[in-house]
């Protein structure tokens, strides 16, 4: 059990040292979802998919070197060399390239690509930038609320056939009961 605790402690320390972009990629549900789609595409079993995900995560943490990822996938996941190559290429596209691009943007690298923005998000940003946000209208004194009525509410007279504790079905006379219809 001590080994598991040591590994968890080491991984937490490594995680804290990673750039924010890499931390976001590790915790991202989107990366996991796309990795799962990749595993489904290549018809990997659950244990193979978990092993593949572990290999990628260990590479992201810097525990395993990235240039050994293909060999590790082939060996640990137990897939043929050509499938390991395809998996590595796809992982590079869906995991490592977005991280690399985001790091380049953060470091303002001259070759950095602009962040991908959907058409709707771009239009939203443009509309918000072009619209002047109107200032809130000044607070004007309000009219005080009307006084509550002081009179009492008049109740309808109680039915003569009503007796406390008696059910309405047991009453013989229902002629003045507003909730009962007369039998026909």
Asked whether residue 1 carries a pLDDT value surpassing 60, the answer given is no
pLDDT of residue 91: 84
CA distance 80 to 183: 86
Asked whether residue 151 carries a pLDDT value surpassing 50, the answer given is yes
CA distance 84 to 74: 5
- Average pLDDT over every residue of 148-168: 76
Residue 133 is assigned to a structural domain of this protein:
no
Residue 77 is assigned to a structural domain of this protein:
yes
Asked whether residue 41 carries a pLDDT value surpassing 60, the answer given is yes
Cα pseudo-dihedral 31, 36, 42, 46, rounded to 10: 140
User: Lowest-pLDDT range, 51-60, 127-136, 143-152?
Assistant: 127-136
Higher pLDDT, 118 or 157: 157
Residue 147 is assigned to a structural domain of this protein:
no
Residue 122 is assigned to a structural domain of this protein:
no
Question: What is the total count of domains within the chain?
Answer: 1
Residue 163 is assigned to a structural domain of this protein:
no
Give the domain range for residue 41. Answer: 9-108
Residue 121 is assigned to a structural domain of this protein:
no
Higher pLDDT, 178 or 12: 12
Asked whether residue 117 carries a pLDDT value surpassing 80, the answer given is no
* % residues pLDDT > 90 (the chain): 0
Mean residue pLDDT across the chain? 75
CA distance 122 to 114: 12
Residue 118 is assigned to a structural domain of this protein:
no
Residue 151 is assigned to a structural domain of this protein:
no
pLDDT of residue 116: 54
Cβ atoms of 113 and 104 closer than 8 Å: yes
Higher pLDDT, 74 or 19: 74
């Amino acid at each position: 059990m001590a080994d598991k605790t040591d590994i968890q402690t080491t991984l937490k320390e490594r995680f804290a040292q990673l750039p924010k972009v890499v931390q976001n990629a590790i915790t991202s549900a989107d990366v996991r979802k796309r990795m799962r789609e990749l595993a489904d595409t290549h018809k990997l079993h659950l244990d193979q998919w978990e092993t593949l995900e572990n290999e990628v995560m260990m590479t992201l943490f810097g525990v395993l070197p990235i240039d050994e990822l293909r060999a590790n996938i082939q060996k640990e996941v137990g897939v043929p060399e050509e499938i390991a190559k395809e998996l590595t290429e796809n992982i590079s596209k869906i995991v490592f390239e977005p991280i690399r691009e985001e790091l380049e943007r953060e470091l303002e690298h001259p070759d950095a690509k602009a962040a991908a923005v959907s058409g709707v998000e771009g239009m939203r940003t443009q509309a918000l930038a072009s619209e002047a946000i109107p200032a809130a209208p000044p607070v004007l004194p309000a009219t005080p609320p009307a006084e509550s009525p002081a009179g009492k509410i008049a109740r309808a007279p109680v039915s003569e056939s009503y007796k406390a504790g008696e059910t309405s079905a047991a009453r013989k006379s229902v002629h003045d009961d507003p909730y009962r219809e007369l039998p026909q």
